[in-house]
Copies of this chain bind each other. A is one copy, B any other.
Amino acid sequence: MSCVTPSWSVAMKKNQLRVNEFGLIERFFRPLAVNNPGSASLQDDCATLSVKKGYQAIYSMDTMVEGIHFFKDDPADLIAKKLLRVNLSDLAASGGHPRGYLLALCLPHGFPLKWLENFSAGLQDDQTKFNVSLVGGDTTSSNGPITLSITAIGEIPKGRVIRRAGAMVGDDIFVSGCIGDAAIALKLFEEIGRAKTLKHYPSLYNRYILPEPRIGLGKLLAGTATACIDISDGLYADLNHICLASKVGAKIEMGAIPLSICATNIIEKNKDYWESVYGGGDDYELLFTANKDQRNVIENFASILNISISKVGCIQSGKGISILDQFGHVVPVRSFGWQHF
């Protein structure tokens, strides 16, 4: 499909894209689909994927654009992994088990083959790690930035999807892992530059570029959590999504928000970085609510998975979110999480 001169007539330089769409699929993407009969080796118009009996399919779709969601010189294998992981993180937040994914790639003309080689190698790594495989997709040329989209397909026992709308007044609010690392990395990029951030704070860069989808936790939470979301827009903004959907308010204790050692050190030197903790996103930790009766159950989940789970506040009646400091005073919130428009 085209309304401009076909790009295959454009002269290509050495090591740039010489293969056509079908050659590209054959070389880089068919190997990612070989173990999935539903992909029909990527040679059909549609992919198939059946869920187990008594289960239902769930879907997530997330897009990443060069210059917005990743830097042009981020390693291609890590971009691939992040793209897959942010989608798996959505499945995790719903309690789902990932099964497969479709991939849409928009790439500029004359694109370096080496990038695609690294990109598909990154996907291959994470396919093994998360036991999913490519089932279909689309590749197209673009006159704009690299634009990547994945639709992830998961499954969950019927009726067990965790929604955002289920939080009840009195519920505890929990988060997995540490909060703020990814957003602090982004703030450091702006303030001291990317090279220095990578050199001096590699652990924060890793948290930004390589989030860990909490799939195991999501699956355990299905049936226990009353609401769940993954933190992509920011602790405050994502809790707000739960509150709006559930028609409740919330109270967060600032001192209870779990921080990494690196984040703690940075904030001690410059209090401005606190805003990244509740205002920044990209951590992809799970933020969830549960009845107080479930505290032991949730502690047990943390122990099973060997991850930290912290109670950071509680759901209350009314509207809005209050963040309280160590003296119980409300902290003014200037950032409300990332908004695209």
Contact = CB atoms under 8 A, between A and B. Distances in A.
A299 interface: no
Interface stretch (A156-164, A168-176, A262-270): A156-164
A142 B59 contact: no
Interface stretch (A89-97, A251-259, A307-315): A89-97
Interface centre among A48, A161, A340 (most CB of B within 10 A): A340
B65 A19 contact: no
Interface residues of A, number: 90
Interface of A: 1-4, 6-8, 17, 19-22, 24, 40, 43-51, 56-65, 67-71, 86, 89-91, 93-94, 96, 102-104, 106-107, 109, 111, 135-145, 147, 149, 151, 153-154, 156, 158, 161, 163-165, 186, 189, 228-230, 232-233, 241, 244-245, 281-282, 338-341
B340 A69 contact: no
A144 B142 contact: yes
A43 B165 contact: yes
B142 A40 contact: no
Contacts of A233: 1
B60 A45 contact: yes
A24 to B, nearest CB: 6
Given A40-B165, A50-B56, A104-B63, A338 B1 contact: yes
A60 B1 contact: no
A85 to B, nearest CB: 12
A60 B104 contact: no
A317 B89 CA distance: 48
Contacts of A143: 65, 67-68, 144-145
A23 B8 CA distance: 41
A189 B4 CA distance: 10
A282 B6 contact: no
Given A142-B145, A147-B142, A8 B67 contact: no
Contacts of A230: 45
Contact of A151 (B61, B71, B164, B229): B61
26 contacts: A1-B64, A2-B281, A3-B186, A7-B341, A21-B340, A21-B341, A43-B244, A44-B94, A44-B161, A44-B163, A45-B60, A45-B229, A46-B60, A46-B96, A48-B156, A49-B56, A59-B102, A60-B136, A61-B104, A63-B104, A63-B106, A65-B143, A68-B143, A142-B145, A143-B144, A144-B145
